[in-house]
Amino acid sequence: MSPSSSRQSAGTDPGALRVALFIGFVWLLALASGSLAWVVGGPPSNVPALAVLTLVAVASSIGRDNFVGTRISFSFTSIVVLASIVITGPVGAAIVGGGANLLRVRTMPPRVRVFNTAMFTVVGAVGGLAYLTVGGRADVTSLHSASSLLLQVGLPLLAADVTQCVVNALLLAGIQNVATAIPLRTQIWGLLGTTGPAYIGYGLIGFLFAVVWIPAEVGWFSAVLVLAPLFVARWAFAQYGDELQAHERTLRALVTAVETKEPHNAGHSERVAQLAEWMAEAMLLGHKEIQDIRTAGMLHDVGKVAMPTRLLGSRQAHTDDDLVTMSAHSLAGVELVKDVDFLSGSVDGIAHHHERFDGRGYPDGLVGDAIPLAARIIAVADAFECLTSAHSYRPALSADEALEVVRGQAATQFDPQIVELLVKSLSRHEWAPTERTPDELASAGIALDHDEPEVSDHIAFTDRLRTRITGRAAGLHPANGEVR
């Protein structure tokens, strides 16, 4: 919920020279934007307010990071920077942004502090320039009516808010690109997707902060009135983050149990979860839905812990009897997690990830949209990950080659719309095939992975085998209350 800062990316770079050059470039931007802000808006209009706002911004970063999930944290330094545009002017906003990061008490690598200081200086200055450019009032002391405050402060501040969001994303994507070679497009989409919506809230609170400070004549005490509730919210947010981290540890333990039995397939669940998350994000689903789908992707194969180890690294091709036994893993996984409250939203995805769009899958032979959305997403992610991973019987396919196979299964094995979601996701994110060592390949055996589309087709179009599997699955269905 905060604009990201370069705490990790700039601190773990493989190309120190490239990173240093980019940081130097950002400092040149800071000097240029700050100078332009001085020319356009003049010096800070309220030096005492500038000192107070800088201290408030520093205080907003005190304490540990409060992360929820994998990418969201709670901070409100940007709210203070945004309000500073109205209270002290563009140069003041640049000083508050840069000064707050320079003076942060939290320990961080020196170049991270240097980069963040320059970046937030640019964000403050450019946001202030955007505010003035679209007609924002530099002196708001005479504004008291709601309409004048909205038109001459609120809407221009919204423009500044959007500008700050974009500049923050571009600079962070740049440092990530030079440090890790992650494509700019991938980073920009990810940052705007996670921090963009939060900036809407920042704009509203920043507007309220500025109005209470100047037109309402509350002054510095407005920082207490507006930001104190946010400190309380951050504390509550931290408790929620701790709970989610405990959930994540539980998921890791379950996945580790599977990978202990199938070491040659290590990382499969994490990669499926990542693909499923990307597709869910491309659908613009809510945070809870995305997390449930990601969790289902992590645990889709957890039922393998109940499978005979000999089948997971078979030295011979799987027989139909083997496939009947292996097919039980989806509902066996449900039995393992169905009583865990925080996993309740993921059960359908685990249970039905081997259903087929044409109704020839298992365990229930569901057709089309009757298959839960999470299961349709995981089915595509599962097969794609399998195809792009090396196996003893074939090398890993490239992403393009695997996409062709998956597209060939659209409307039979897979939901065509979900297949297109995969295409869209891969246009935004890089995907590298998974290679394995000779020892890992040797331990995998020679049997086809059950996630191969070829195996799904064999089950689907071998009527006797499919009947045996769906009959076996009926005996495992949670509605019966036990695993037979």
Please calculate the CA angle 376-380-382 and round it to the nearest 5 degrees: 110
Two tokens, residue 178: 């030079």
pLDDT digits (tens, 9 = 90+) for 422-454: 999 998 888 999 998 888 887 777 888 889 999
d(CA 246, CA 7): 23
Q: Do 338 and 442 fall within a single domain?
A: yes
> What pLDDT does residue 260 have?
79
Confidence of residue 48 (pLDDT cuts 50, 70, 90): confident
Residues 317 and 214 in one domain: no
- Residue at 375 is within a domain: yes
Q: Is residue 398 part of a domain?
A: yes
Residue 165 above 70 pLDDT? yes
| pLDDT tens string 324-358 | 999 999 999 899 888 887 888 899 999 999 999 99
pLDDT in tens, 85-131: 988 999 999 999 998 888 877 777 888 889 999 999 999 999 999 99
CATH code where residue 195 lies: 1.10.1760
Which two tokens mark 368? 């089309």
Q: Is the pLDDT of residue 168 over 50?
A: yes
33 and 179 share a domain?
yes
Cα→Cα distances 125→43, 122, 193, 325, Å: 12, 5, 24, 64
**Same domain, residue pair 382 and 421:** yes
Residues 6+ apart with CB under 8 A from 221: none
CA distances from 435 to 95, 176, 439, 447 (A): 49, 25, 12, 18
Residues 104 and 152 in one domain: yes
For residue 72, list its beta bridge partners: 68
Whether residue 33 is found in the same domain as residue 141: yes
Model confidence at 273: pLDDT above 60: yes
- Note whether 231 and 340 are same-domain residues: no
Domain membership of residue 363 (yes or no) is: yes
Query: Is pLDDT of 458 > 90?
Result: yes
In percent, the amount of the chain with pLDDT more than 90 equals 39
Instruction: Classify residue 381: in a domain, yes or no.
Output: yes
Q: Are residues 228 and 332 in the same domain?
A: no
Residues 158 and 288 in one domain: no
* Contact criterion met (CB below 8 Å) for 455 and 360: no
Mean pLDDT for all residues in the chain = 82
Task: Give the residue numbers spanning the domain of 315.
Answer: 262-480
Shared domain check, 237 and 269: no
Asked if residue 8 belongs to a domain, the reply is no
Residue 249 placed within a domain: no
In a domain, 250, yes or no: no
Choosing from 208, 241, 274, the residue where a domain stops is 241
CATH number of the domain encompassing residue 375 = 1.10.3210.10
Give residue-wise pLDDT tens across range 120-148.
999 999 999 999 999 988 888 877 788 88
Whether residues 420 and 298 share a domain: the answer is: yes
Asked if the structure places residue 11 within a domain, the reply is: no
**Number of domain units in the chain:** 2
Q: Does residue 460 share a domain with residue 408?
A: yes
